[in-house]
Amino acid sequence: MKDPVCNPLNRVSALPRRTFLKGVLAGTGMLAAGGPLSAAESLVSDSTATKPAFRGPNVILVRFGGGARRRETIDPQSTYSPFLCRELAKRGTFFNNMEIAQIEGLNTSHGEGTLNIVTGKYDKYKDIENKFLGARFEPKVPTVFEYLRKSFAVPPHQTLIVNGEDRPDEEFYTFSNHFAYGINYRSNMLSLYRFKAWLMRRQIAEGKLTDKQIEQRKKELAKWEKVDYRTRGEDRQGQELEAFWQRWREYYGDSGFVNPRGDRLLTELTVRAIKELRPRLLMVNYQDCDYVHWGNMSHYTRAVSIMDEGLRQIVQTVEADAEFRDNTVFVVLPDCGRDSNPFADVPCQHHFGSRSAHEIFALFVGPGVKRGAVVDKRVDQSQVAATIGQLMGFKAECAEQRVLEEAIA
Ligand SMILES: [Zn+2]
């Protein structure tokens, strides 16, 4: 790789971590003004030049995830996702032989797969605290959200990741640690976590709680802020997202028990987000297939059906929307597959590097994409980011550069 932006060996000296954080926070106005600008700050601050408006197409990226094998999804003989397999696949370009590359030390799992998709680059991720099965990863190269926001005038609330309540580690995939991108170009996160953090702050401000309740909420918030150390917990989501949570609260109340749960919650958040926030790039991270880790196969197959129903609802929402209908591309693919060993005590794991854990698929549907095409040749999960870039009009400069040409009309 000769490109100085993406090759760490060619880069100007690496910035010490603290300088980097100070720089990015200053760039977003999160820190009170203080001291002269350092070199680090000028490196990371966004250009003031007017960026072009984004005209589309929007992309809705559906992580058909929590690990889903081909057998229960795209095989017409054994599918639990009939909408994807029998209806939506016909409307676009369907890659039935996509794989996650076999690379020593590369894990086939949810966080890794998600970052392979959004960065277009494989990496041997390690949890930042070395937790066993921890997935608090920080991508070194930019995500598709950052590329889009650096190329076009797209506000953060129109680049969204919809995340599940059991995936706190994945709350932090909104931006990379790349020196030329990062927090200034981050996406926003829609999740029950963010709602709860917003709600706690609101409740404290409203002054209707007892002292004991306030103390308990402050403690929870402090815990949250410590986890979100890259922004020191200062990353408020902005007025559009706050208004979104306000409407959510008016509808579902404060308890967190009335709203749908699991992957149905993700569908609900996504449908509302399309109507209320008008996202340009949205990723919905379905996850419930993964409950098969508890040992029960029906948890998995049922989750595939629920996800398929969610996909159908999201597609219907877009089709009912005059502005989105002909200006939105769907990209559907799993984070990883699952094992096929029939003798395993617990079926369908995915951490053991088995063949079917690497075997996935991808479907592209929408304007600029060929209709009714089936591509049998082997392609890579890391090619999705550059392909999204090609469709949306940005260059994913640090990603695998081989675009999935067959998808482009
Ligand atoms: Zn898993």
Is pLDDT larger for residue 96 or for residue 25?
A: 96
Tokens 């096929």 sit on residue: 340
Residue-wise pLDDT for 143-175, tens only, equals 999 999 999 999 999 999 999 987 888 888 899
User: What's the pLDDT score for residue 133?
Assistant: 75
pLDDT for 25 equals 47
Q: Which residue has the higher pLDDT, 358 or 172?
A: 358
> Could you tell me the distance, in angstroms and rounded to a whole number, from the CA of residue 285 to the centre of ligand 1?
13
> How far is the centre of ligand 1, averaged over its atoms, from the C-alpha of 93 (Å)?
28
CA of 67 to the centre of ligand 1 (A): 6
Q: What was the pLDDT predicted at 296? A: 87
Structure tokens at 352: 């053991």
Beta carbons within 10 angstroms of residue 279's beta carbon: 24
Tell me how far the alpha carbon of residue 339 lies from the centroid of ligand 1, in angstroms: 11
Distance 304 CA to ligand 1 centre (A): 14
How do 58-63 and 328-333 pair as beta strands?
parallel
In angstroms, what CA-CA distances link 221 with 26, 64, 207, 218, 250?
22, 31, 16, 5, 22
Exposed/middle/buried for residue 251 (C-beta within 10 Å: 0-12, 13-18, 19+): exposed
CA–centroid distance, residue 58 to ligand 1 (Å): 29
C-alpha 107 to ligand 1 mean position (Å): 11
Cβ-contact 357, 91 below 8 angstroms? no
Average pLDDT over residues 351-362: 93
Q: In angstroms, what is the span from residue 167 Cα to ligand 1's centroid?
A: 11
Average pLDDT over residues 124-138: 85
Distance 189 CA to ligand 1 centre (A): 21
- Write down the pLDDT at residue 40: 35
DSSP element (H, E) containing 160: strand 159-162
pTM comes to 0.89
> What pLDDT was estimated at residue 228?
74
CA of 221 to the centre of ligand 1 (A): 28
Q: How far is the CA of 86 from the centre of ligand 1 (A)?
A: 26
**116: CA distance to ligand 1 center in Å?**
16
- Examine the pLDDT at 320 and tell me if it is beyond 60: yes
Range among 49-58, 92-101, 176-185 rated most confident: 92-101
CA of residue 133 to ligand 1 center, whole Å: 9
- What backbone torsions phi and psi does residue 167 show, to the nearest 5 degrees? -125, 55
Q: What does the pLDDT read at residue 34? A: 32
- How many other C-beta atoms can be found within 10 angstroms of the C-beta atom of residue 203? 15
Do the beta carbons of residue 174 and residue 189 sit within 8 Å? yes
3-class SS letters over 184-198: HHCCEEECHHHHHHH
Direct distance between the N- and C-terminal alpha carbons of the chain, in angstroms, rounded to an integer? 29
- Expressed in angstroms and rounded, the spacing between residue 111 Cα and the centre of ligand 1 is 9
Distance between CA 139 and CA 126 in Å, rounded? 10
Q: Which contiguous run of DSSP H or E holds residue 82?
A: helix 82-82
* Helix, strand, coil percent content, the chain, rounded in steps of 5: 45, 10, 45
Give the pLDDT of residue 256: 74
Q: What's the pLDDT tens digit per position in 40-60?
A: 333 344 554 689 999 999 999
Per-residue pLDDT, averaged over 288-297, amounts to: 89
- Domains contained in the chain, CATH given: 61-193+278-407 (3.40.720.10)
CA of 338 to the centre of ligand 1 (A): 9
C-alpha dihedral sign at 206, 208, 211, 212: negative
d(CA 328, CA 158): 13
Distance 343 CA to ligand 1 centre (A): 19
What's the whole-number average pLDDT of the chain?
87
Please report, rounded to a whole number, the percentage of residues in the chain having pLDDT higher than 70: 88
CA–CA separation, 349 vs 292, rounded Å? 8
139 CA distance to ligand 1 middle (Å)? 20
Cα(328) to centroid(ligand 1), Å: 30
When pLDDT is averaged across residues 278-299 and rounded to a whole number, the result is 93
* 3-class state of residue 367 by DSSP: coil
Output the pLDDT for position 293.
85
Residue 12 has a pLDDT of: 45
CA of 312 to the centre of ligand 1 (A): 24
- CA–CA distance, 22 with 19 (Å, rounded to integer): 5
Q: Which residue has the higher pLDDT, 14 or 88?
A: 88
Give 297 Cα–ligand 1 centroid separation in angstroms: 13
Cα-to-centroid distance, 292 and ligand 1 (Å) = 8
Q: Distance, CA 315 to ligand 1 centroid (Å)?
A: 26
Give the Cα-Cα-Cα angle 41, 47, 48 (nearest 5 degrees).
115
Per-residue pLDDT, 62: 98
C-alpha 115 – ligand 1 centre gap (Å) = 15
Q: Check pLDDT > 80 for residue 226.
A: no
66 CA distance to ligand 1 centroid (A)? 6
* Cα 294 to averaged position of ligand 1 atoms, centre (Å): 10
Question: In angstroms, what is the span from residue 264 Cα to ligand 1's centroid?
Answer: 19
121 by DSSP, 3-state: which?
A: coil
Task: Report the distance separating Cα 159 and Cα 144, nearest Å.
Answer: 10
Instruction: Quote the ligand 1 centre to 367 CA distance (angstroms).
Output: 33
CA of 69 to the centre of ligand 1 (A): 12
Angle at 157 between CA 135 and CA 387, to 5 degrees: 65
Per-residue pLDDT at 268: 97
Contact between 62 and 309 under an 8 Å Cβ cutoff? The reply is no
